Each structure stands twice: as C-alpha cells, then as structure tokens.
Amino acid sequence: AQKVTQAQTEISVVEKEDVTLDCVYETRDTTYYLFWYKQPPSGELVFLIRRNSFDEQNEISGRYSWNFQKSTSSFNFTITASQVVDSAVYFCALSNTNAGKSTFGDGTTLTVKP
C-alpha cells in the first residue's frame, strides 16, 4: 500500500521568509513518481513538479526548490522569500506508474502574511 504523510497541517509565515513543506512517502515499488500540487483559495489544483524514483537531483525553479532523498523517503518543497500569493494548500502525491493510481497527502495549508 502507498502512503503519503504531510505532517505539517498548517504553516504561517511573514512575507519574505523562507518556508519548507515536508513530505514523507511509503511504497514498495522501485519505480514511482512524486508530485507537488498547489490549491490556491480559488480552489483549482495546479501541478508544480514531478520527480521519478531514479532521479535524486534537487531542482530549483525561481523561488521554488525541491529536495528528493530516497534514503529518508522524503520529497520536501521549499519556497524562498515567500509572497502573499504563495498562500495556498500544497499537496504531495505518489503515483504507481503501472496501476495509474495516485495517493495524496492530506495537504499543508500555507499562509503568508504581509
């Protein structure tokens, strides 16, 4: 069975602070994919990044960066110099490539205060 744990239910920061959202996963598969999605207050779900189980390179995209560590089964997401527009619920998800099933974490609600 697959499981994704986002232990931080809510995080509140002040604008320009850096913030890291944690994601820990469990799977017995050797091939899998990890995703992060953003759900702003308007409610839509937006894809942010995908990482496969064989690629442990960290990735940076503007103010966003992701740290994937297979040794600790973690795929953490850092926002540098946070902005009010970053306020949203962020979901980490794990996909079994063969079955097409995705398992989502419960989400972390990030509030960035001006």
Interacting residues with another protein (CB under 8 A) = 6, 9, 33, 35, 37, 43-45, 47, 50, 52, 91, 93, 95-107
**Is 24:74 a contact under the CB 8 Å cutoff?**
yes
Tell me the closest approach of the beta carbon of residue 101 to another protein, in angstroms.
6
Provide, rounded to whole angstroms, the least separation between the CB of residue 27 and another protein. 13
Nearer to another protein, 17 or 55 (CB): 55
Q: How far apart are CA 41 and CA 87, in angstroms?
A: 8
9 or 114, CB closer to another protein? 9
Please state, in angstroms and rounded to a whole number, the distance separating the CA atoms of residues 74 and 69. Answer: 5
Closest to another protein by CB, 15 or 33: 33
Q: Considering the complex, what minimum distance in angstroms separates the CB of residue 84 from another protein?
A: 23
